[in-house]
Structure 1
Amino acid sequence: MPAVSGADAYIEVGFTGGSLAPGANTGEIQLRVSRTDWQPVSETNDYSRGAATAYTDAMTVPGYVGGSLAWGTQP
């Protein structure tokens, strides 16, 4: 991920092996994030936080393939 001015953290999720055919679906992928001390995380200045209450495309969550932006918009 390219460095973004003002950012203090980011999450990187990667996948190795396997394949997904065009038009296929992995199903739901769940990810849990927490602080090491389990205290609440402030999301007040989180660029990627949206207001959706149901599954929807998240254009503020950029996705990279081989180091190139393939999805979304970075901050």
Structure 2
Amino acid sequence: MAKIDELKERLTMLRFWLGIVVATFLAIAGWSITNYQKVEVWLIVGALVLLCFCVVIAFFINKAIDKKCKEIGKIE
């Protein structure tokens, strides 16, 4: 496999995982908004911790995507 193809494949996988993280973030946020009055406080706190974790993971994945895009730009 050529180097450019390998980089593009890795970029595609990073984009896939970024989509998974964003979907998870939206699902947790939606659940928290609709159920904040019905559940115990520790569940809401746990949801907020997971939301923060998703934001951090999305940030790092986005940095990795930017790095791969720059590598692809240098090759082409």
Q: Into which bin does the TM-score normalised by the smaller protein fall?
A: under 0.3
Q: TM-score under structure 1 normalisation?
A: 0.22
Bigger helix fraction: 2
Structure whose residues are more often strand by fraction: 1
Q: Which has the larger radius of gyration?
A: 2
Q: TM-score, normalised to structure 2's length?
A: 0.21
> Which structure is higher in RCO with an 8 Å CA cutoff and minimum separation 6?
2
